[in-house]
Structure 1
């Protein structure tokens, strides 16, 4: 059951250029930053907005990638991060190299906000103020730069209203999707893990969800003797039309109980209860925004269950029925 939070408007900030964002999104994955980083950015932006007198409730976020450049060197099948050498120490000794991955991004940010009363003049003023706040913040550790051509209509911040009837909301979402093209939106595909687990357990009954996740994270090859007119050929399981599937971190799982505020030495915040956690993983898919049918399929939101030790990022994407041939359309 979805617990998608309420919202009345979508705030679109197109084609933000982010320099040197963190490309190590978890202990097991790298590349595009984790959605936890964008949720953290959303909450930080909400706090700054409230301090500036902007009474908006930020409840969900989406990141659409247009271009990226991961700072790596390639040699054959091996990639390595481009590392920087730190200055020598005071005694002249060589400082240790701390591995860090970096990536340059051209992305659009979409925030779902709830506002009780927000007239046109207030929207114009608040959007300008929020854009200024966002330009001075860090996105996944990277610095934000203005779009290459900020005067162009497609690069200007924009507000979509979702306070009308269903038809008006569908029209507003279609316009949002058009403004996000060309690009790729990351959506959750937890269902693929269940499907792959069922496939693995037909041959290996003791297969686990970890085995299914690892299987989806790579291209699995097998030799098919019937392929190529009976001559045999190697076949991969990433067939055409199967989608751009990637392993992603989706939050954190508790390793122990909640500790009272200030009871853990060297914690970042001595006024907030502390808990040791580890990363949770799932599978995502990069998909064109024009194939999404509602804002709920685009946006990510927080789903925290402290009693169960789960602090997850959720997305309500559901694949359309491809048998009807209409999965690429927005109703």
Structure 2
């Protein structure tokens, strides 16, 4: 498919910034829900009933999460009661507790896939105006749409059209599905430790992990000073030492043999303090002074982020009348848990071919007990979609579900 509706530079205020275990950007389900609602309105209209919107790409241009604190780790909350009349208990006014929520302002573009036969230039102009009007009165990720810079029907078959489209998306970052990276990491952990769980692999991508490296400032100063005085002797030693420090995390078995041999020949009295630090570096214990280094993510290339990609059923489907406090009185009810995976923010300038644009489109993928959002890049790895292969690519908050 090469026809798309571009909603360029959508400014959204107070969008949801939390999704499952993650925060900082809305879940992909918000954007597909926005697209699906537009598609339903198209099907109900007289003029555009033959057109459907089947998926969308998400391009982020700007975002501001409503947080405060040293590391932006606390959400700015507003205590606004949903009860207009305060309650009194023994003469003391009682108000409901604050409902915690994370909000953000953002500017995004949506590239929405269009299926169906379009008309002439006049028809396209009216269709684009209709899409813009309907988009402005909808909410996106629970936030209010303040403005849309441009709405246009675009095609990616021709190279010049792709370049023009890419120019509109820059500067911006496209959200890509990297569930295959999560599956690969999980398989690696299983080889190292059969008891490793899928959650361990996901945390390797999402958690900020650190590991201690013993203090080495005296060692570096000694080698740098020696290099200045005797370059021929210390050049290889300093080079090996610098390469060793570049390796993260710290590993005792990665210390070069030439360095061990060199320090073993030093005068113990003359270099007492230096050799004490060297010995601690070789054989650290819980009392050894150390610096903390941030561990890299399993895949060094790419801006990988934790991502919520859908839901997994944890109960059977109930008739509406069996469950209290539902949204309406007709729709069946099923309780679900959030499903998490890994995504990557990729610069929009990397969208070069027609296939690149097609692969950036997120679509719904329905399976028994699963309601997921995926891209073609992830679906290609699953020849026959089923619950087992899905669990290898995404992590649910309830992996022990059993259907009664």
Tell me the TM-score range normalised by the shorter chain: 0.7 to 0.9
Is 1:47 the counterpart of 2:40? The answer is: yes
47-56 or 14-23, which moves further after superposition? 47-56
CA contact under 8 A between 2:155 and 2:162: conserved in structure 1?
Answer: no
Q: Which runs of 4+ in 1 moved over 6 A?
A: none
Q: 1:59 aligns with which of 54, 62, 65?
A: 54
CA RMSD of aligned residues (A): 2.5
Q: Which moved more, 1:87-96 or 1:277-286?
A: 87-96
2:30 alignment partner in structure 1:
37
Give TM-score, length-normalised by structure 1.
0.81
Is residue 270 of structure 1 aligned with residue 271 of structure 2?
Answer: no
TM-score, normalised to structure 2, is: 0.67
Return the alpha-carbon distance in structure 1 between the equivalents of residues 357 and 85 of structure 2.
51
Corresponding residue for residue 282 of structure 1: 341
* C-alpha separation in 1, matches of 2:376 and 2:162: 16
Question: 1:297 pairs with 359, 362, 386, which one?
Answer: 359
C-alpha displacement of 1:262: 4.1
The aligned counterpart of 1:324 is none
1:195 deviates by: 2.2
Tell me which residue corresponds to 1:211: 200
Name 2:210's counterpart in structure 1.
221
Shift in Å, 1:61 = 1.1
CA–CA separation in structure 1 for the residues paired with 2:345 and 2:55: 18
- Go from structure 1 to structure 2 and tell me whether the alpha carbon gap of 1:303 and 1:254 turns closer, same or farther (over 3 Å shift): same
The one-character-per-residue Cα deviations of 1:56-89 (angstroms, maximum 9, x if unpaired) are: 20100122110000000123x4611000012474
Query: Match for residue 4 of structure 1?
Result: none
Instruction: Identify the match of residue 20 of structure 1 among 14, 29, 39.
Output: 14
Per-residue CA deviations over 1:298-330 (Å, capped at 9, x if unaligned) read 11000011xx21110011247xxxxxxxxxxxx
Distance between the aligned counterparts of 2:171 and 2:377, measured in 1? 19
Q: Map Cα deviations across residues 98-135 of structure 1 (whole Å, 9 max, x no partner).
A: 00110000111111011224222111111011101101
Look at both structures and tell me which one has the larger radius of gyration over its CA atoms: 2
What CA distance in whole angstroms lies between the structure 1 residues aligned with 2:159 and 2:335? 42
- Residue aligned with 1:175, SS: helix
Distance 1:262 1:47, change over 3 A: farther
Q: Is the 8 A contact 2:205 2:297 kept in 1?
A: no
Following TM superposition, by how much is the alpha carbon of 1:263 offset from its aligned partner in structure 2, in angstroms?
3.7
Q: Is 1:129–2:130 an aligned residue pair?
A: yes
Q: Distance in 2 between matches of 1:239 and 1:198?
A: 12
| SS of alignment partner, residue 19 of structure 2 | coil
Residue 190 of structure 2, aligned match among 201, 209, 217: 201
| Distance across 2 between alignment mates of 1:235 and 1:72 | 23
Answer yes or no: is 1:183 the counterpart of 2:172.
yes
**Tell me, which stretches of 5 or more residues in structure 2 are unaligned?**
88-92, 215-240, 247-254, 256-277, 282-290, 379-404
